[in-house]
Structure 1
Amino acid sequence: MNLPEEPAEPVAAEPLRPRRIGLVTALALVVIALDQLTKLLVVADLDPEGAPKRILGGVVYLSVIRNAGAAFSTATGVTWVLALVAIAVVVVIIRMARKLRSTAWAIALGLILGGAIGNLIDRIFRSPGFLRGHVVDFISLFEPDGRHFAVFNLADSGITLGAAALVLTAFAGIDMDGHRARGRTKRTEAQK
């Protein structure tokens, strides 16, 4: 006589982690606010023709530079293309953020989003005009006028730190949902 098999115990699904769109938004707003505030202060207080202001014993120099291009003043003739790329980056990150459940991804994307919007504000509202505006850069490391490294601003710092965090997150194998990619493979194999 065949006894009916007992149904297998249901595998408890892992609870979904909370969405991290609030963290992305908060970080982006902080980067935007700090970037725009520092640019306003620098433009108001530093003479573009004057000597750079030396701070932290010469580790940092402050001077106003209007950058029509991207990093290291590249692509200066296609400022409008850089603005369109920034708009595309913003749209992609906003779309990704709605599904985001990883804190590490949220931090990285929040920094990049804030930096992209901070520089996009300059491209839209600063002279010489809409989508052609020059970004205000003002931080030079170790020597004035970017002799050792490109002159940058806080938006650039947000983008750079966010990109570095994104690379580290990817190397750690963390997916957008907050799970480790390697761990998911082991879980899937264990369930078979």
Structure 2
Amino acid sequence: MPVTIDAWHITGQSQIDSYVGRWAELAVLLVNELAVTQALGRPRTPPADRLAALSQAFDQHGWIPTRALTAADADRLADVAAALRPAFTGAPDATAVLNETLVRHGAVPNLHGDPPILAFHRPGSDLVDAWAADAATALAMVIGVGQGQRLRACEAGGCDLVFLDVTRNASRRFCGLSCQNRAKASAYRARRRT
């Protein structure tokens, strides 16, 4: 049964609400910043200074942490990113890894705050557990409502970036225009050779 709560980014009949979308976007950001070894056709070394890399990525994407992020938090988030990555790649163990992440970080639905909001982490959780629980729950919800095909990894050679496909028919194949153009050019050159 599709979830239709808010016309967030996805257009069409099957939509993902803004809460799930927000945390799925955080999962994308964490994976792309901390767990990708090649991007846009080039090898990529995971950042030595994870805190600086995340701070820069948060600024670029307009993500405003509610609590100050520390270097230790950034290091723990690298482990979270590695655990979330299989959900985007369709790895055979993706569901098991996502379930382990939910348990490890204490994902539990509850209302807290004033005004109350629905969250998927325990009140009083540290930043990493809260973000991991909410991001993993968002990915689980996307998968659980039959929209797992929207969690994608770029299909271009030499690119491991992941994304949430918000197209109407879930047909996006590449992380961006650069990889799409590289793939098309490569396919064209291959056809010309034959």
TM-score with structure 1 setting the length? 0.28
Whose Rg is larger? 1
Write 1 or 2 for the structure with the bigger share of helix: 1
Structure with higher RCO (Cα < 8 A, 6+ apart): 1
TM-score with structure 2 setting the length? 0.28
